[in-house]
Structure 1
Amino acid sequence: MNTNVICWFEIYVDNLERAKKFYASVLGTSFHDMDSPDGSEDFKMSCFSSSENQGVSGALVQMKEARTNNPANTSTIVYFPCEDCSVEESRVEKAGGTVHCPKMSIGEHGFISLCIDSENNTFGLYSMQ
């Protein structure tokens, strides 16, 4: 299992191409576009380039109406690594949070759960199983 406190981050954007240009200019990084897990045109993702020893990487995400219709903060989401994200997901409501999107497949990349903490911040749980 990953030993970092976080394993992935997503920065939600309104315009993917504009955001890629911004971060490339500021950070001197490059990106590679990923296919939507569900094939939808309403979801676009472009990953920050990373090296093997970097440990944690992430992506810019453009998702139709994600920033205007989501009750929680979706400007940035960090993902915490788990053996099976459904285990940690099952603890969220008892701890005072909300499960926003129950465990779902992201194809060959594993599974995620999106949750809202006690302070109305969105966070993700990630696992391969």
Structure 2
Amino acid sequence: MILRGQKNFYSRLFGWKFEKPLETMDYYLIETEGLKGESGPGGGLGKRQGADQRIMNYIGVPSVDDYLEKVEKLGGRVLMPKTSVSGWGYLAICMDTESNTFGLWQDEEKTE
């Protein structure tokens, strides 16, 4: 019910389109538009995992491993190490030097 309310809110506010990639997952992919109507950055919406969970940005990178190394060299922290999301890619959660959390995302290479 909560996700339906959030989907409705953001869809009506920004015109975002939501797609549920797997029926068994409580998660939606988000399609956005830029200011001039061009395709914008994608996103996702999932069920809150705890009362203190907040909105978090995920940044696409070519290699999660390389960026985790950079995070630590720059004084940040790795909160969740590289984790495989089967069939999709790899995810890690980090904290910057000001205690803001963010995610790193690497698409899984598709073989044809």
TM-score (norm 1): 0.66
Q: Is the 8 A contact 1:44 1:63 kept in 2?
A: no
Cα distance, 1:119–1:60 mapped onto 2, change above 3 Å: same
Q: 1:123 aligns with which of 94, 102, 106?
A: 102
Higher relative contact order (CA 8 A, sep 6+): 1
Instruction: Give 5+ residue unaligned stretches, structure 1.
Output: 1-13
Aligned residues: 104
> Percent of aligned pairs with the same residue?
26
TM-score of the pair, normalised by structure 2: 0.74
Structure 1 letter corresponding to 2:85: I
Question: Which residue of structure 2 aligns with residue 19 of structure 1?
Answer: 6
Which ranges of structure 2 fall in alignment gaps of 5 or more residues? none
Structure 1 runs of 4+ with >3 Å offset: none
Instruction: State the alpha-carbon separation in 2 of the partners of residues 94 and 29 from structure 1.
Output: 36
- Among 46, 70, 86, the residue aligned to 1:61: 46
Residue-by-residue CA offset, 1:21-75 (whole Å, 9 max, x unaligned): 1011112232111339xx6xxx721111358x7252001121321x51x6xxx32
Q: CA deviation at 1:18?
A: 0.8
